[in-house]
Chain A
Amino acid sequence: MSRVEGAYHKLIVWILMVMLLLPLVATLIYALVSEWGATILPSGFTLKWMISLWSDPRFLIALWHSLLICFGTLVLSLVLILPLMFVIAYYFPKLDALMNILILLPFSVPPVVSSVGLMSLYSSGPLVLTGTPWILIGCYFTIALPFIYRAISNNMQAINLRDLMDAAHLLGASTWKAALLVVLPNLRKGGMIAVLLSFSFLIGEFVFANLLAGSRYETLQVYLFNMRNGSGHFTSALVISYFVVVLGFTWVANVLNKEKS
């Protein structure tokens, strides 16, 4: 590689970095200054927006709601999808093609349409969920499904499931024990990717949250929407805080993942 080429590669990387980081950095600065209106440079740094955000009980409740919904969805998804995928991969491999089409459905139907459908589905028996946070978990499950299915299915194909199960059976393990002791631990990597992907996607979800629960059960994004007429510095602080929360969880998850392997 020549020097010119190297410089060119570096330039591209730098431009990309700047493009990705600039909005974030600008938002961060905006959240940390007292006034930045008619002047080129901001008039002074302050933490008052951050402090007022983190001392707003409404924000803390919205954050709690968002985390609860996200983790609720992830737990529900994993509990339902992992056994399902094992059954498909081990007993009915032909169904995988069908599943690959089914998991695209949540994307093919616009949220505005599907939320109407979901509301009418859940507003009468046997399961009345409309107006409760549970409807969001049910709905988010369908959105998270494609991410989780794809990530775990790739992982499942990589581990040679059939031979591992056969080997475990011959060594005296029941199918349950084999699935739990041999297959499940080897899906950790795919499972982690699935969880992180879905988490960062779900915590930023607005359309469904607003249509299905709205102000009755304010999540972070709905709270942000409701605050849109307030100070821009305040909403900037909110965006940065939200970003830091996602970053924090991702980092913790990565550390936990590394420690085990």
Chain B
Amino acid sequence: MSYLQVTQLNKHYGHTQIFNNIDFTAKEGEFVTLLGPSGCGKSTLLRCLAGLTSVDSGQIILQGQDIVPLSPQERGIGMVFQSYALFPNMTVEGNVAFGLKMQKLSASEIHRRVGDVLALVEMNEYSKRFPHQLSGGQCQRVALARSLVTQPRLLLLDEPLSALDARIRKHLREQIRRIQREMNLTAIFVTHDQEEALTMSDRIVLMNKGQIVQNADAETLYTAPVNAFAAGFIGSYNLLTAEQAQALTGQSYGGQVAIRPESIVICAPEQGISARILHHSLLGSVVRYRVLANNVELSVDVLNRSVDSLLADGIEIGLQLDLVTLREVA
């Protein structure tokens, strides 16, 4: 039996079905990401796990106990919100202590545990500050500490990094992952950012329109998308129709074919499929070329090794396609 098992979970508002027969599990200490475009039902699913939103039918079994009938207070689940949701009238210390005060622990016990958890998120110097005196990243670290201090059975993170700037986001990402590993916490993380999902997760549950599309580890999800949606959402796959794929490879395909831009190799014009560069964009470590080959437009990613290796727009090149990297998707 898994640590967390969600079976046949359903939720609708009026006539709109938010999600449909959701099944997934999480092992103890596993970091599972719910990934999907906005409106796919991932945030509502998370709120249902927390008990903040009721479900229509289905079971959520946590440590062998169905928690669907329990109130949020009884579930022993911690949650971090995108908006931080820190209590503005309390100091950092007061915010973190709130959950322990509700449990009516002794003052010395509260003081000790608040100190420990603030040290864990490197915020103990700020314990007397109020939330409005902190930056976004600091606020989110306090919110994380507040949800960890009660030692929850499950940690839920609802797009906790979306409101932060890129540099802080990266740092906090690593910090969350480190703490989660150290405490062996089972965490469910919601995001619409594929990079976040790929770098942080043990396993990714990709959702679209209230359904689970694919449930796999990052590597599988990236290299073997099950359908066109998965291929389109993860990475920047080239999606080709069967005819386009045949024009390029000479083989016949049953349906759409996906190929990742970095698995196409650029070579001398006489060596591969002849192609022409339309334009290029610099993504930093990678240069992305738009090329035209046999009347098919493709994206090709090349590692940006040096200024000299940059190819000018309009020149003729050759392309090599490794057939094993082509994936037929439904």
Contacts and interface: CB of A to CB of B under 8 A. Distances in A.
Interface of A: 159-160, 163-164, 166-174, 177, 181-182, 185-186, 188
Contacts of B72: 166, 169-170
Contacts, number: 61
B50 A173 contact: no
B103 A186 contact: no
A237 to B, nearest CB: 43
A219 B103 CA distance: 51
Contact of B99 (A171, A186, A188): A171
Interface in B278-328: none
Contact of B73 (A163, A164, A172): A172
Contacts of B73: 169-170, 172-174
Contact of B83 (A163, A171, A172, A185): A163
B83 A160 contact: yes
Residue of A159, A169, A172 with most chain B CB atoms under a 10 A cut-off? A172
A90 to B, nearest CB: 12
Given A170-B52, A173-B73, A164 B99 contact: no
Contacts of B146: 167, 171
Contact of B102 (A163, A173, A185, A188): A173
28 contacts: A163-B83, A164-B87, A166-B72, A166-B81, A166-B85, A167-B79, A167-B81, A167-B86, A167-B146, A168-B87, A168-B98, A169-B52, A169-B71, A170-B50, A170-B73, A170-B75, A170-B78, A171-B98, A171-B102, A171-B150, A172-B99, A172-B102, A172-B103, A173-B98, A173-B102, A181-B98, A186-B87, A188-B89
A91 to B, nearest CB: 14
Interface residues of B, number: 25
B85 A163 contact: yes
A160 B99 contact: no
Given A169-B72, A172-B103, A173-B102, A159 B88 contact: yes
B88 A186 contact: yes
Given A170-B72, A170-B77, A170-B78, A164 B102 contact: no
Contacts of B52: 166, 169-170
B29 to A, nearest CB: 21
Contacts of B87: 164, 167-168, 182, 186
A259 to B, nearest CB: 15
Contact of B85 (A164, A172, A174, A188): A164
A114 to B, nearest CB: 38
